[in-house]
Amino acid sequence: MAHVFISYKHNDEAFVNAMVAKLTEAKIDVWKAGDNIDAGEIWRDVIDQKIREAFAVVLAMTPDARTSEYVTYEWAFAMGLGKPIVPIVLSKTDLHPKLEPLQFLNFTVRFAEPWDRLIARLKELEAESLNPP
C-alpha cells in the first residue's frame, strides 16, 4: 500500500506525531523520517525511495521549515517527480515561490485545525493514485 510522506522540520515533531496518529486513525498509511531509518542505512537514499513510493507529500511549514535545506530538498524532489504536495501551515510563514500557487491548509489557529479537510484530501489523492485517469 502506498503512503503519504511527511516533510517537516524536526523541532515540529510533536505536532507531526499528533498528525501521524490522526492520519493512522483515518486508515491512511504514513511515513516520516525520525525512527523509520535504521542505523547504518544511507538516510538520503531511504528518504528518496520513500518519496518515490508516496502517493502524496504533506509539507508541514513553519519559518524554520521554510529555511531548512532538507525540507526544501524533500518537497522539491517530490515536485520534480510530479507528486502531489499538500502544504499545511503550522505557524505564519511565507511559502517558497514554487509553493505559493498551492492552496495550503491553515493549522495556525489552535483547536480550529482542519483535520477533516486534510484527511479528505489525502483520501482523494490516494484513490487517484490507485485509479489514475
Could you say which DSSP state residue 9 is in? -
The predicted pLDDT at position 37 comes to 75
Phi-psi region of 54 (alpha: psi -120 to 50; beta: other; left: phi over 0): beta
Task: Please determine, for residue 111, whether its predicted confidence score (pLDDT) is greater than 80.
Answer: no
Give the rounded distance of the alpha carbon of 29 from its chain centre: 12
Task: Please determine, for residue 35, whether its predicted confidence score (pLDDT) is greater than 90.
Answer: no
The predicted pLDDT at position 1 comes to 61
Rounded distance between C-alpha atoms, residue 46 and residue 26, angstroms: 25
Which of 113, 9, 26, 94 has its CA nearest to residue 60? 9
- Crossing angle for the helix pair 115-130 and 13-25, nearest 10 degrees? 60
Task: Please determine, for residue 33, whether its predicted confidence score (pLDDT) is greater than 70.
Answer: yes
Task: Please determine, for residue 41, whether its predicted confidence score (pLDDT) is greater than 90.
Answer: no
Q: How many residues does the chain have?
A: 133
The predicted pLDDT at position 40 comes to 84
The answer to whether the beta carbons of residues 88 and 37 sit under 8 Å apart is no
pLDDT bucket at 130, cuts 50 / 70 / 90: confident
Bridge partners, 133 (sequence order): none
Average pLDDT, the chain: 91
